[in-house]
């Protein structure tokens, strides 16, 4: 895939808070598009990278990112077609979105290590990022996240719900395209050899809801409750935490619980960097 050049003239910076536009490179036949992103600048060398779920922009992280900024730099953004970011055409597969995010981070001058945090479909995108750029990842946090192959399983077991969701996903063209392409490029049932080849050098936390609405009960709940096992099949080092009194938006309903998990993953990064900086 060939990329167009990116401009740095659209980058606006302030001392304590970065808020700006970055012209991200996309496939050359699509030209350039603008992606809205922001960074809260906190202490430490790690950057927490937040990835929203289907239909959500960076505003869905408002309460969590302010708390996280006390511990680290926090990056959030609107994917193309959401919020203040322009739309793009073409594939919106998890791999495309992971590569796109990587380019935005690089163009914004935000270097690894990254602590990746993803909610719902955003967790699937962070999983793809971790697979494609494992040397840049310090930790992966999946918040009630969609596992690979979920779309196909939903279509098989609940075809009417799948059809409804595919038409209404995110109530936008971007959301429908992401829903359509969610099973593209990622293996939902990797072989033992493939799992062994995945990097196990960084921790993975899978946060799951405890509560389901009336509409989510029955077959949907039975399907969703297999999510932890599916993630652990892909990341054997993953530990699962069921967050009490939480629905799908755990990071909004139980912000402190998510904070504690991310904080526990930032501490080893800080210790590692301090050790590397110490003279022999």
Of 71 and 9, the one with more pLDDT? 71
- Residue-wise pLDDT tens digits, 171-201: 567 877 888 887 888 876 555 445 555 656 8
pTM of whole model > 0.85? no
For 134-173, write each residue's pLDDT tens digit: 999 999 999 999 999 876 776 665 566 655 555 554 456 7
At 169 the pLDDT is 47
> 30 φ, ψ to 5°?
-100, -5
Decide if pLDDT at 255 tops 70.
yes
Query: What is d(CA 25, CA 50) in angstroms, rounded to the nearest whole number?
Result: 20
What is the CATH code of the structural domain delimited by 17-273? 3.40.50.1820
Strand partners of residue 205: 141, 239
Q: How far apart are CA 101 and CA 201, in angstroms?
A: 22
Query: Which residue spans within the chain are E strands per DSSP?
Result: 17-25, 32-40, 47-51, 73-77, 114-119, 137-143, 204-208, 239-242
Cα atoms in the Cβ-side hemisphere of radius 13 Å centred on 274: 8
């Amino acid at each position: 895939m060939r990329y167009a050049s990116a401009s740095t003239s659209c980058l606006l910076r302030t001392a304590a808070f970065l808020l700006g536009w970055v012209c991200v490179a996309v496939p050359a036949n699509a030209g350039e598009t603008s992606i809205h992103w922001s960074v809260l600048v906190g202490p430490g060398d790690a950057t927490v990278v937040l990835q929203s779920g289907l239909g959500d922009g960076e505003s869905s992280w408002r309460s969590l990112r302010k708390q996280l900024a006390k511990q680290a730099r926090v990056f959030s953004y609107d994917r193309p077609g959401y919020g203040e970011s322009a739309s793009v055409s073409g594939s919106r597969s998890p791999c495309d979105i992971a590569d796109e995010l990587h380019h935005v981070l690089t163009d914004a001058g935000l270097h690894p290590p990254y602590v990746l945090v993803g909610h719902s479909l955003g967790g699937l995108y962070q999983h793809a990022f971790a697979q494609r750029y494992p040397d840049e990842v310090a930790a992966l946090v999946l918040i009630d996240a969609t596992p690979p192959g979920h779309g196909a399983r939903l279509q098989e077991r609940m075809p009417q719900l799948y059809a409804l969701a595919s038409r209404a996903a995110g109530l936008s063209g971007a959301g429908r395209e992401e829903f359509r392409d969610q099973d593209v490029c990622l293996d939902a049932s990797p072989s033992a050899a493939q799992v062994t080849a995945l990097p196990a050098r960084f921790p993975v936390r899978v946060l799951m809801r405890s509560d389901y609405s009336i509409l989510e009960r029955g077959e949907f709940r039975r399907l969703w409750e297999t999510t932890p096992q599916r993630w652990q099949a892909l990341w054997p080092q993953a530990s699962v935490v069921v967050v009490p009194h939480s629905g799908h938006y755990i990071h909004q309903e139980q912000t402190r619980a998510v904070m504690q998990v991310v904080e526990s993953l930032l501490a080893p990064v800080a210790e590692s960097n301090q050790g590397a900086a110490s003279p022999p």
